[in-house]
Structure 1
């Protein structure tokens, strides 16, 4: 059985390994130290919401991270669902769905008008999950990136 809850500093070690796995999924080099520092900063500043899933034995199996933001046009809050990761051995067991539903519920509880996310074009597994949960592909705007550093 999968349960989802808010991450705490006590989750730092296990969450670090999940974040490192997530980054490697996106072809980044493994760097546990940097992942740990990043998470310690997020948890310390409270500038994101991190939800974790755990199995019946209490081991972390995935996470979702949301960053609060606002929309000038909409005059409301919009959160970016920036990260979703589930351990490979826990996929196709409802873990990703549970994390996404918990993220939606958290946003609802905070009065957030819209959640937004981006995923790689070839990540069809994630796209299928998002669309099965009612997410709609944005066809009205193009996304652009600018590397400043």
Structure 2
């Protein structure tokens, strides 16, 4: 029996899975392990419905293992006068990378954008995350050469 990847919209009943993957994602970006904080943050997102979270489970021989996480935030574009989605978080457990799980999550993000009438998806990643950049570009994402991003820490 071959393994299957199941991608689905997270609900409050999936809080433990989503928070664990979100905590791993934060650690990938060199943030401290904070499972309690991750759980609170994800619980707020699921309760307030101010983001959309998808999970990916690896299913093989009756076992279902949570291995991937994607979080989208809605936004608007003044220039195009349309809805956009920010693909803010994408994470696949290191042991399961290279099995098209990230790609399946990206496809789900695209479907979500289409179903909600959005014009597109925006994302950013660190300069050194070359594997992610290759994945995004292989899925049709284009590096922005028109705008420069700035950030103001408060």
Which category describes the TM-score, using the shorter chain as reference length?
over 0.9
4+ runs of 1 displaced by more than 4 Å? none
CA distance in 2, matches of 1:58, 1:15: 14
CA deviations on 1:21-69 (whole Å, 9 max, x unpaired) are 0000001000000000000000000000101101113321111100000
Aligned pair 1:102/2:108, yes or no? Answer: yes
Aligned pair 1:113/2:112, yes or no? Answer: no
CA RMSD, 1 decimal: 0.7
When the two structures are aligned, how many residues end up with a matched partner?
148
> What pairs with 1:56-135 in structure 2 (closer than 5 Å)?
56=59, 57-135=63-141
CA distance in 1, matches of 2:111, 2:16: 26
Q: Determine the structure 2 residue equivalent to 1:10.
A: 13
Q: Determine the structure 1 residue equivalent to 2:22.
A: 19
CA distance in 1, matches of 2:41, 2:35: 10
TM-score w.r.t. length of structure 1: 0.97
TM-score w.r.t. length of structure 2: 0.94
CA deviations on 1:59-118 (whole Å, 9 max, x unpaired) are 211111000000111100011000000001110001000000011011101111010000
For structure 2, the residue ranges without an aligned partner over 5 or more in a row are none
Task: Name whichever structure is richer in strand by fraction.
Answer: 2
For structure 1, the residue ranges without an aligned partner over 5 or more in a row are none
